Structure 1
Amino acid sequence: MRMAMSYQQTTTGVKKSPPDTPVGWTEERLAALRSARALAHGSRTLWEIARHTGGRFLPPASAEERTAWPLTDSQKERLAASWREPIEPLAEYLDRHGICAIFADDPGYPAELLRIPDPPYVIFLRGTPLRDEVRIAIVGTRRMTSYGRRSAAFFGGELGRAGITVVSGLATGIDAESHRACIDAGGRAVAVLPGGVDDASVVPRSNMTLVRDILAADGTLASEHLPGTDMKPYSFLYRNRIIAGLSNAVLIVEGDHDSGALVTARLALEQGKEVLAVPGSIWSRASKGPNRLLADGARLCESMQDIWEALGMDGREARRTTQARSGLPPTPAENCILELCGEERTADELARLSGFSAQEVASALSLLELKGRILNVGPKTFLRLP
């Protein structure tokens, strides 16, 4: 792994005292960051260590413990070298540049990602923290046609106006067009990057203005990689699982039969997400991917109504849902009902056990459903979502 910036200074011949721990960084979190630095592109390895140690990344106390860690010899050498180097300068660099590292056991880790088959152990966020909100991914080819450009701009803009967050990969073409249309319409965008979220890591460089505009419009940059991490050929495909994982549904605008956008569609289907596709000309290579998805059973997307139907709501309800999820703190009744709904409860049971009136319980249940905190699992029966 290379760092595109210098976040660590060394002084030859001077004995340095241990650096102070940066604010908000516990010893455990610094140890996890140290492991992430040593094992770049090693999200699965970080999970293996966490399972082996019970989530503790502190250096093993004995040689026997070190040998037992589920690592190759090369990984053990890199990790040992990382333990000898101070990690505090990197933590300070992240803090100074507004980059938040969220580990899988942190309270702010996106719950949606824990539900996918291969979640990143750590995700780095820059900009506005991820909210409890409705998100649609719009993805497609870098070599878009004028038809693809119009389609991405239309759906990105309409979603932005409806208060739905647009998720994409910041690539040239459909991704960038949908991001731009969303924020120009007053919406919010989440860009999932194949490298770090720092300025020096952004690719393509031609999208730096778009990056600044996304951040200025209350948006978010997300990545599983530290700033300056070398991108590998597979980095672009690996980030697609995060795009799908953060989204309620995925819309494919254009892409050839071997487009990376189809990988995102496949991953979304594996995650149980709705996949929509914009139909295109039989003469256009850029429409081969969406047309194939439609033949295989993807939902046809010709208008915003198709998206609302995929989400099970209409445009007005979508805006209300987004506002309810992102804006309102829980009431005492909501907190009580959430506590009780660890198992299935009827509305009558909740009123009896909570001490709140039937009207207060009904109001709290409606808000909790809008916020995505509980699920109606049967006639007036509810269960808290994880």
Structure 2
Amino acid sequence: MLPKEVLFSFFPKSTNKRYAELLNTFSSLEYAWHATRAELKQTKWKQELINEFFFWKKDFNEEKTQTMLAQQEISYILRNNPDYPELLQNIYDPPFCLFIRGSLRKCTIPLAVVGPRKNTQYGKYITTELVKPLVEAGVSIVSGLAYGIDAIAHSAALAANGNTIAVLGGGIDKYHITPASHTGLAERIVEHGGAIISEFPPGTIPSKFTFPRRNRIVAGMSFATLVIEAAEKSGALITAQCAIDAHRDVFAVPQNINSPNSIGVHKLIQSGAHLVTQATDILEILEVETRTQHKETKTIIPESPAEATILQYITHEPIHIDMLTKQANMPSAEITGTLTIMEMKGVVKNIGNMMYIVCK
């Protein structure tokens, strides 16, 4: 038999507030499940909602649901379970039931990493550069499996043999992974010891109303939230606000001021978010000791006058080759040839769209 918390979660109109109203009225959810219409009227549930509940309950098949969960290898964690994420217990309105595929056991130092679905090449690069040393230090990456920075963060964690958790705004059954093109990524997360979780039962189709609730879990189960990029109005900012509301640290990566994805992160920094330029900025505040030896930073010694000139203008801030050519006042052919040689030596990197940065 499934716990009544799980059964109630399958009711489409179920919310934490309505769940609490049942507990405030009845001695147990077992009693509430078998309550009559008259008894349910004692709660704050309106008659229309009560009618909908009984209509839904009449067709609900608990045995079929239990079989489906087993076949999909989906388990659940209730708030009174010791495996329930401790940090999530401490937020406003924590989920009374979490559905999970995989395991949370390796998630010891969770950090939310968020950003836009339409990321820049710089956003992709910096996410990968930050995630690798973070997971090597034992940090677990928590994100939302969406397009853009979410997927990049999950993939970077897996590539570094790290732990990552995906929080969905819909069902976690294999038929409702959103976006569907990330089903393979979701499977890899589970296979590598991570987890896919949601407060929404299997079969739930995500909507504009479920994603903000997903964001509060992403932030709520994490020690801090790292915002890679964010436009002025962005889901990443909602996640950051959830972290602030839960009294958690927020980190933000500075951006090119001409990029639309810089507006949100720069406002966060102006409001007190920690500015991040390297992983140690985060690890120090989280008081996490790195598990790998820090490589000594070496001075880049140019091997030609052309390299020396280029190194005066190329930094960790992306610069387009056209702008570099103009600033360095060099022929475009010489710039192109010198950059190619410098990239082969690992001195600079083309992060896409002919945008270059200097390597560490």
| TM-score band w.r.t. shorter chain | 0.7 to 0.9
Measured after TM superposition, the shift of residue 131 of structure 1 is: 4.9
Describe how 1:140-159 pairs up with structure 2 within 5 A. Answer: 140-159=115-134
Residues 266-299 of structure 1: CA distance to partner in whole angstroms, max 9, x if unpaired? 1101101110000001100011111110111100
Q: Does 1:308 align with 2:287?
A: no
The answer to whether the 8 A contact 1:137-1:167 is kept is yes
The answer to whether the 8 A contact 1:192-1:239 is kept is yes
Measured after TM superposition, the shift of residue 229 of structure 1 is: 1.1
Aligned to 1:221, the other structure's residue is in SS state strand
Distance 2:20 2:130 in 1: 37
The answer to whether the 8 A contact 1:47-1:121 is kept is no
The answer to whether the 8 A contact 2:87-2:223 is kept is no
Residue matched to 2:305: none
Q: Does 1:110 align with 2:85?
A: yes
The answer to whether the 8 A contact 1:158-1:182 is kept is no
Residues 218-253 of structure 1: CA distance to partner in whole angstroms, max 9, x if unpaired? 110010011111322121111100000110111000
Judged with a 3 Å threshold, the aligned counterparts in structure 2 of structure 1 residues 142 and 53 are, in CA distance, closer, same or farther, namely same
Q: Does 1:139 align with 2:91?
A: no
Distance 2:83 2:55 in 1: 30
Amino acid at match of 1:74: E
Describe how 1:349-360 pairs up with structure 2 within 5 A. Answer: none
* TM-score, normalised with respect to structure 1: 0.71
Residue matched to 1:289: 264
Measured after TM superposition, the shift of residue 36 of structure 1 is: 1.5
The answer to whether the 8 A contact 2:69-2:75 is kept is yes
Which runs of 5 or more residues in structure 1 are unaligned? 1-20, 318-386
Distance 1:45 1:128 in 2: 29
Measured after TM superposition, the shift of residue 64 of structure 1 is: 3.6
Residue matched to 1:167: 142
Distance 1:112 1:155 in 2: 23
Amino acid at match of 2:20: W
Larger displacement relative to structure 2 (236-245 or 91-100): 91-100
Distance 2:133 2:64 in 1: 43
Residue matched to 2:21: 48
Residues 37-92 of structure 1: CA distance to partner in whole angstroms, max 9, x if unpaired? 12445232122222332442443455542221331223212221343333121022
Amino acid at match of 1:168: S
Residue matched to 2:219: 244
Q: Does 1:81 align with 2:85?
A: no
Q: Does 1:67 align with 2:41?
A: yes
Judged with a 3 Å threshold, the aligned counterparts in structure 2 of structure 1 residues 67 and 43 are, in CA distance, closer, same or farther, namely same
Amino acid at match of 1:150: Y
Name the larger-Rg structure. Answer: 2
Measured after TM superposition, the shift of residue 106 of structure 1 is: 3.0
Judged with a 3 Å threshold, the aligned counterparts in structure 2 of structure 1 residues 136 and 61 are, in CA distance, closer, same or farther, namely closer
Distance 1:76 1:34 in 2: 16
Q: Does 1:120 align with 2:131?
A: no
* TM-score, normalised with respect to structure 2: 0.76
Distance 1:99 1:208 in 2: 15
Distance 1:65 1:292 in 2: 50
The answer to whether the 8 A contact 1:126-1:197 is kept is yes
Q: Does 1:264 align with 2:239?
A: yes
Distance 2:165 2:23 in 1: 28
Measured after TM superposition, the shift of residue 96 of structure 1 is: 2.1
Distance 2:65 2:254 in 1: 47
Distance 1:51 1:132 in 2: 33
Residue matched to 2:201: 226
Distance 1:204 1:146 in 2: 21
The answer to whether the 8 A contact 2:136-2:290 is kept is no
Measured after TM superposition, the shift of residue 124 of structure 1 is: 0.4
Q: CA RMSD in A?
A: 1.8
Distance 1:50 1:105 in 2: 14
Judged with a 3 Å threshold, the aligned counterparts in structure 2 of structure 1 residues 192 and 277 are, in CA distance, closer, same or farther, namely same
Residue matched to 1:353: none
Which runs of 5 or more residues in structure 2 are unaligned? 293-360
Residue matched to 1:9: none
Distance 2:77 2:83 in 1: 7
Distance 1:218 1:128 in 2: 6
Q: How many residues align?
A: 290
Distance 1:196 1:91 in 2: 15
The answer to whether the 8 A contact 1:196-1:229 is kept is yes
Distance 1:101 1:91 in 2: 11
